[in-house]
Amino acid sequence: MRVGITYDLRSWYIDRGYSMEDTAEFDKQETIDAIDNALVRMGFETEQIGNCFQLMSALSSDKRWDLVFNIAEGLYGDGRESVVPALLDQYRIPYVFSGPVVLGVSLNKYLSRLIVSAAGVPVSPGMLVSCLDDIKKCNLQFPLFIKPVSEGTGKGITEKSLVRSWKELRERAGFVLSRFNQPALVEEYLPGKEFTVGVIGSGSKAVAIGGMEIECRDNLPYSVETKENYQIFCKYTPLEGVYEEECKTLALSAWNAIGGVDGGRVDLRVDVNGKMCFIEVNPLAGLHPVHSDLPILANMNGINFQSLIEMIMRSALERNNLKLPAPIT
């Protein structure tokens, strides 16, 4: 079976003059190679297709695959993660991970909060600030936390995201609006423990495989800087004990409410009263075999990278009525 891999390679864009910030969510060649190797070990014939531009060119040259393993984050706009799956849908090529609507809605943290809270998953009280005038309607309890509504990998998140006064709120909202050219999501600050939970599968077959607690030095947020230097700034501990059941149940509820498939992560944090709240869902979770949260937490829970990719693939194959290749004899 021919499996194509779609991805945004950071160096491809850097070579073409894109900035480090524009490409912060993009992957390294070693991530693509690790996925490719895992697929080959499962018996698939693979092809590294590349990003949406390279996919469009391959499709116009009549290339086709039985399945595409898609981790392309996309470049611009709030539908950027949806471009590759939407294109593949038009060619009726099945793919691993969620479709365009789930990816679009999950990238927008305001919309995903609405969906999961309607399913009973607690969220921190929050509001959307689309222009500075919206701040006048804010009746949230300080301290607050502000982030761009549709970014990932901790973009736009620094220690200044935590605001304690109206002045700081106005300044930071102004920064997010102008710097990221999109609304700011303002939430009541969640001061408690933070967890990220891995989910594999879809619908009634989805399983929370485990999670980890994330503690950042000096109470820093888990931002692009802390993530990139996690060995210095962060401590990861396997999710176990009193929080385990609650985290897994909430992660699964959020995952199913949003309609995630095959695999991903749900981020959670405890509020001022000890209640576990949803932060966001990641249906395209990072897959660097050593440095990304999902492989790290999977490993902590006895699932190595190969097994993780196999579990994700089994879910995608089953959803698409496809079969595993026969073992190589």
Ligand X SMILES: Nc1ncnc2c1ncn2[C@@H]1O[C@H](COP(=O)(O)OP(=O)(O)OP(=O)(O)O)[C@@H](O)[C@H]1O
Q: Binding residues for Mg ion, per CB under 5 A? A: 267
Kindly state the tokens that stand for 200: 């594999």
Q: What does the alpha-carbon distance between residue 227 and residue 269 come to, in Å, rounded to a whole number?
A: 17
CB of 222 to ligand X, least distance (A): 3
In the complex with ligand X, the residue whose CB is nearer, 96 or 190, is: 190
CB of 320 to ligand X, least distance (A): 26
In the complex with ligand X, the residue whose CB is nearer, 10 or 39, is: 10
Q: What does the alpha-carbon distance between residue 278 and residue 124 come to, in Å, rounded to a whole number?
A: 8
HSE, side-chain direction, 13 A CA sphere, residue 323:
3
145 binds, among Mg ion, ligand X, none (CB under 5 to 8 A by kind): ligand X
In the complex with ligand X, the residue whose CB is nearer, 112 or 299, is: 112
- Point out which residues bind ligand X (CB under 6 A): 109, 124, 145, 147, 151-155, 157, 187, 189-190, 194, 221-222, 267, 269, 279-280, 282
CB of 121 to Mg ion, least distance (A): 15
Angle between helices 244-258 and 109-118 (to 10 degrees): 110
C-alpha torsion sign, points 35, 39, 41, 45? negative
Q: Please count the other Cβ atoms lying within 10 Å of the Cβ belonging to residue 131.
A: 11
Question: What residue is closest to Mg ion based on CB?
Answer: 267
CB of 105 to ligand X, least distance (A): 14
187 binds, among ligand X, Mg ion, none (CB under 5 to 8 A by kind): ligand X
**Residue 278 near residue 251 (C-beta atoms within 8 A):** no
CB of 165 to ligand X, least distance (A): 17
